[in-house]
Structure 1
Amino acid sequence: MGWLTAGEGYEIALMEGRVTARAVTGRAAGRQLKTIPKALRDHPEVDRLRRLAEWLERHEAACVAQVDAWMVSSLPVPTALLAGVWPDEAWQGALRDVAVVGDDPDEVGFLRDATTTGELRVVNLDGETVRLTAPTVTLPHPVLLPDLDDVREFAAELGIVQRVEQIHRATWHKPQDLAATATEVRDFAGGSYPNRFRLAARATGLGYRISGGYATCPVRDAGRSLEAAVWIGEPYWDGDSTTGALTWQDENGRAVRLREVGPVAWSEGMRMAAALYAGRTIEEGGNA
């Protein structure tokens, strides 16, 4: 955005998410200042730009969160919708280089552009730029990509960096030898924290919800809504806390057998459990 007059002898602008000032008179005329001058700190225009910067930051985070939700749910997204939001820099930053699939589920491409006529331009795995005109596209969860290693290798060759963690997202595949009645996974149980607050803080910091004694992660998998949950302790417990078992529940709160958990829900639940376990207290010394 351009420079705005603020006070006598100064102009301000929003650059890289922060308010910047420059002098318009004297020796320093035209020079960008390292800090906002004291005379401008309470100026209405400075305050307006600060509030705009905060809104833009929230908007950018909301765009990334929405694209992540589309990817985790694997729901079809209207092509016209993606083309419509593309001119917005925040949306474009969240969507650029995300892997998308059109009518052919085996044809994966990285989103590079969207036209005013509603077409998407993607780079396919042959390195060719092609147009997607399908009414809807999906942003596939990486666990659903059959050639994920090839996709990752090609992305590295192109120097692709995604704002939304997709192709380099940690994935887990469900074992085939699960017991018919099993409803919980304990691979990441027993991760010790000094108190429940620290464990809950790690969960929320990673973007998970806290519901009662659980850290939870809602997932839509193959048209079915599930919620993965890891026990983190009673809400008001002030002693040591440890991560508990990982389970899945349906929309009615009923436990889902592991054999019935879909690939995306399994992977996202395991990803959450592993991330919570990774933050545990690790003992050092001879008793470790």
Structure 2
Amino acid sequence: MGWLSAGDGYEVALVEGRVAARATSGRSAGRQLKTLPRTLKDHPEVDRLRRFAEWLDRHAAGCVAQVDAWMVSSLPVPTTLLARVWPDTAWQAALLDLAVVGDDPDEVGFLRGATESGELRVVNLDGETVRLSPTTVTLPHPVLLPDLDDIREFAAELGITQGVEQIHRATWRRPDGLDAKATEVKEFAGGSFRSRFALAGRASSLGYRVSGGYATARVRDGARTVEACVWIGEPYWDEAVETGGLTWQDAEGRALPLRAVGPVAWSEGMRMAAALYAGRVIEEGKNA
């Protein structure tokens, strides 16, 4: 975006997401100023740029949220769609270097580019840049990736960083030998918070939905949608509370046996429970 005239002697522009100004006359002509002059703070062009910057921030956050949803659900995404949004820098930042899988489920690569024709440029696990033209690709949840530790090691060698947490996302695998009738995990129960408001606020800040007495995460796991739930206390309860157990429900609200919870729903539910528990009040001193 270029510089725009803003009254006598100044131009303004968005620079790294902030409104910046530069003088158009005098000894500092053409030089970006360290701070916005007071005379420009209420200028219409400055206000317009601020609102545009806010829109860009919301757009970038929306792109990340959508890509994260594609990844968590592992739903197929049309390559033509990826090609269409790739020129947008916000979409590109969210998609760049995500692990993708095309027609061969065993061939994993890191997304580096997309052409207008729908061809994807991918770095495979042999370190070679290849071009793929599948009709759709998936951005698999890391718990579904084979040899995840090897993929993480290879990504570190390449210096890969991801705009959406995927390969370094915390994962949990459902243990074997669970009781056939068990419906609750208590590993992260008992985390103390000074108030229900504080616990609900933590859940919301982490992106989880608060409904009634629960923090919830809805996950598409295979062909069905499952909701993971952690008890956080009765609404409007203003005294100390503790995190409760973790359960999963089907679309009809029926509790699922732990053995029936799929790998993605299990991992995402445990991730939510662990994140809530991590914010607990930790007692200090000899009685801690």
**Same fold, judged at TM 0.5 (above):** yes
Work out the CA distance in 2 between the residues paired with 1:32 and 1:146.
Answer: 50
Alignment of 1:102-141 (within 5 A): 102-141=102-141
Work out the CA distance in 1 between the residues paired with 2:26 and 2:121.
Answer: 50
Work out the CA distance in 2 between the residues paired with 1:24 and 1:50.
Answer: 21
Alignment of 1:20-99 (within 5 A): 20-99=20-99
Identity in percent: 77
User: Quick one: which amino acid aligns to residue 26 of structure 1?
Assistant: G
State the match for 1:17 in structure 2.
17
What displacement does 1:136 show?
A: 0.4
Moved over 3 A (4+): none
Segment drifting more, 31-40 vs 9-18? 31-40
State the match for 2:284 in structure 1.
284
User: Quick one: which amino acid aligns to residue 154 of structure 2?
Assistant: F
User: Quick one: which amino acid aligns to residue 286 of structure 2?
Assistant: G
User: Quick one: which amino acid aligns to residue 50 of structure 1?
Assistant: R
Extract unaligned runs of 5+ from structure 2. none
Work out the CA distance in 2 between the residues paired with 1:137 and 1:66.
Answer: 15
What displacement does 1:116 show?
A: 1.2
Work out the CA distance in 1 between the residues paired with 2:202 and 2:208.
Answer: 9
Work out the CA distance in 1 between the residues paired with 2:160 and 2:35.
Answer: 34
Per-residue Cα deviation, 1:56-110 (whole angstroms, up to 9, x for no partner): 0000000000000000000000010001100000000000000000011110000
State the match for 2:242 in structure 1.
242
User: Quick one: which amino acid aligns to residue 106 of structure 1?
Assistant: D
Work out the CA distance in 1 between the residues paired with 2:254 and 2:35.
Answer: 56
TM-score normalised according to structure 2 size:
0.99
Work out the CA distance in 2 between the residues paired with 1:46 and 1:241.
Answer: 46
User: Quick one: which amino acid aligns to residue 205 of structure 1?
Assistant: S
Work out the CA distance in 2 between the residues paired with 1:146 and 1:60.
Answer: 30
What displacement does 1:224 show?
A: 0.7
What displacement does 1:31 show?
A: 1.4
Q: Is the aligned partner of 1:274 residue 2:274?
A: yes
Work out the CA distance in 2 between the residues paired with 1:170 and 1:180.
Answer: 26
What displacement does 1:185 show?
A: 0.4
State the match for 1:217 in structure 2.
217
Alignment of 1:138-177 (within 5 A): 138-177=138-177
SS at 1:184 equivalent: coil
State the match for 2:198 in structure 1.
198
Per-residue Cα deviation, 1:134-179 (whole angstroms, up to 9, x for no partner): 1000000000012001100000000000010000000000011111
What displacement does 1:131 show?
A: 1.1
Equivalenced residue count is 288
User: Quick one: which amino acid aligns to residue 60 of structure 1?
Assistant: A
SS at 1:185 equivalent: coil
Extract unaligned runs of 5+ from structure 1. none
Per-residue Cα deviation, 1:240-261 (whole angstroms, up to 9, x for no partner): 0110000011111111111110
CA RMSD of aligned residues (A): 0.6
Work out the CA distance in 2 between the residues paired with 1:273 and 1:17.
Answer: 34
Work out the CA distance in 1 between the residues paired with 2:193 and 2:66.
Answer: 31
TM-score normalised according to structure 1 size:
0.99
User: Quick one: which amino acid aligns to residue 116 of structure 1?
Assistant: E
What displacement does 1:286 show?
A: 0.8
User: Quick one: which amino acid aligns to residue 160 of structure 1?
Assistant: I
SS at 1:66 equivalent: helix
